[in-house]
Amino acid sequence: MIFSEPRFLLFFLLVFAVHWSLRNNQARKHFLLACSLYFYGFWDWRFLGLIVGCAAIDFIAAGKIKAAQARGEKGFGWMLTSLVYDLGTLAFFKYFDFFADSAGDTLRWLGLPVSDLTLGIVLPVGISFFTFQAMSYTIDVYRGRLQAVRRFDDFLLFITFFPQLVAGPIVRASDFLFQLETKRELAKVDVHNALGQFLSGFIKKAVIADMIAGPADVVFKDPSAYDAGSIWIAVVCYAVQIYCDFSGYSDMAIGTGRLLGYELCKNFDFPYLATSITDFWRRWHLSLSTWLRDYLYITLGGNRGGRWFTHRNLMLTMLLGGLWHGAGWNFVIWGAIHGTALVVHKEWVLRFGTGKLPFVSRLVTLYVVLAAWIFFRAQTFDQSWTMLKAWLWFESPGVKVVKLWSPDPETWSLFGASMLLLLPLLALHIATHLRTHLWLRGKMPAWLVTLLFGVIAALSLAFMPLQARPFIYFQF
């Protein structure tokens, strides 16, 4: 059940109606919890035990940490228990096969006989998100930044809250749990704002990302057959696709949460307008980047040591950040590229100061970010290398050409329409950046805004492709 299909619409309409018709806050929370568990169980009910178990361990650990701290101890053992359980779960389900496979390859390379070590483990949906969310809670309690929550049902709702359950944002306990304490009021919900957020996410995902995926898929499938220009088009298309796909999901999650009276954290802030790679990570997947900063980079020592110590921490953080995205060496390389770029940028700033030409800085940043996406998306290292050579030196591995315009309507619908789709994205960006939508809303009567939403919804539905694609970040 994904946000862009009618089953979700039916599910959400029911949740919305019942949620707001319940008067008792506790009853509402229990209802939301039941719905969230149903939502997760809809993906694969076998993993319900996993997510509830994860929440239970962290809830107990946090309680024990608090009790230990009341006795004047630190409660380190319980914090460690929580981390070992969460990371162990993540490692087993997400990385066991990857490491077993890599170990097998290494041993085979050394000439040693090895049988297949992989277990073919099914990856539970959203595992990277809910384990990180749960871990941040126990660490915050351990660090004394957060009070341990008293009610398990509240904590379980925080972990399983369905709008953000499968692909984030990675909500912090400190940002969410306090919202559960007070009764939400429908009158305080800015429905236009929430619906607008959901609609903009829907357009990004269902219209732009799914449509523009076509040219990217064609070239990434066999890059050696295409010329350099086509590879450039494919890389740009993929950059747009992944941004629209993921930020679209986040927008829909935030909009859905708002409609239920809950505020989720912002996850994107015009990342492709970043003036440096450091700036990029202040704008891309904010909930993960701040998580990595607060719980990994700072724990490693952050920038409290020398230059090389800081660089080491940056590299380690980005390598692990890359691995978080997926169990594959391509993600590690992607993380390494970003880590290296961050180190280079830090050195540059130390030596030459910040750039005086923001437009040039933006272009250079975008060029590096897009180059890194090649490793994120390509299926093999050879393909990545082929595409990287085309990206860096405009070296054409093949002769096939992706045309941006063709008199043949069939070709036009694939590539030309994809390029045209950048226009609504650009309009959305500019409107949000300039806060035009807020200005318009101030000028327009409420009834007109609602009517306009209906018109936009119909047009978005008409222009979404008939082959819905799963959200890219669901696999993580």
Partner 1 sequence: MFIRSALHTALFLGGLLSTAAWLRSLDTLPWWSFTRSRVHHAASQLTSHDTLFFGSSRFNFGLIPSEFDERMKELGLTTKAFNVSNSGTRTHDISELAQWFAAQRPSTIRHAIIELWDWDPGEVGTNWMTDIRIEAHTLRQLPHRLQSILLLNPTFGARAEKAYFALCHTAVNYLRIGQGPRLVEDWLLSTQGKPPLGAWPVQDGGWKDVVAIAWPATVAEHKAMVANPKPTDDILAHRLTQNVLPVLLPGWNDAAFDQMDRALRAAGIEPIYVTPPQLGNFFQGRGAIPELAKRAIVLDLDDPKAHPELFRRELWYDRSHMNREGAKFFSRYLAEQVHTALAKRPH
Residue 297 in tokens:
């980079």
Decide if residue 452 touches partner 1 (CB under 8 A).
Answer: yes
Q: CB under 8 A: which stretch of 1-9, 31-39, 172-180, 306-314 binds partner 1?
A: 1-9
Those residues with Cβ within 8 angstroms of residue 314's Cβ, 6 or more apart along the chain or in another chain: 297, 339, 342, 343, 346
Decide if residue 454 touches partner 1 (CB under 8 A).
Answer: yes
Length of the chain counted residue by residue: 476
**Dihedral sign of CA atoms 269, 272, 274, 279 in order:** positive
List C-alpha distances in Å: 275 to 103, 281, 345, 377, 399.
40, 11, 11, 24, 35
Decide if residue 446 touches partner 1 (CB under 8 A).
Answer: yes
Residue choice 31, 385, 453, 474 for contact with partner 1 (CB under 8 A): 453
Decide if residue 467 touches partner 1 (CB under 8 A).
Answer: yes
Q: CB under 8 A: which stretch of 3-11, 69-77, 98-106, 135-143 binds partner 1?
A: 3-11
Decide if residue 113 touches partner 1 (CB under 8 A).
Answer: no
Residue choice 113, 353, 407, 410 for contact with partner 1 (CB under 8 A): 410
Decide if residue 409 touches partner 1 (CB under 8 A).
Answer: yes
DSSP-derived 3-state class of residue 404: coil
Residues 168-197 that bind partner 1 (CB under 8 A): 186-187, 191
CA distance 288 to 404: 35
Nearer to partner 1, 353 or 407 (CB): 407
Residue choice 412, 432, 437, 444 for contact with partner 1 (CB under 8 A): 412
CA 355 to mean position of chain CA atoms = 29
CA distance 428 to 208: 11
**Dihedral sign of CA atoms 217, 223, 225, 228 in order:** positive
325 is an active site residue: yes
Q: In the chain, what are the helix, strand and coil shares in percent, each to the nearest 5?
A: 75, 0, 25
Please tell me the count of residues contacting partner 1 according to CB under 8 A.
30
CB of 447 to partner 1, least distance (A): 6
Nearer to partner 1, 316 or 420 (CB): 420
Decide if residue 6 touches partner 1 (CB under 8 A).
Answer: yes
Nearer to partner 1, 278 or 413 (CB): 413
CA angle 390, 391, 394 (to 5 degrees): 50
Set 325, 338, 345, 433: catalytic member: 325
Catalytic residues: 325
Query: Interface with partner 1 by CB under 8 A: which residues?
Result: 5-7, 186-187, 191, 409-410, 412-413, 417, 446-447, 450-455, 457-459, 461-468
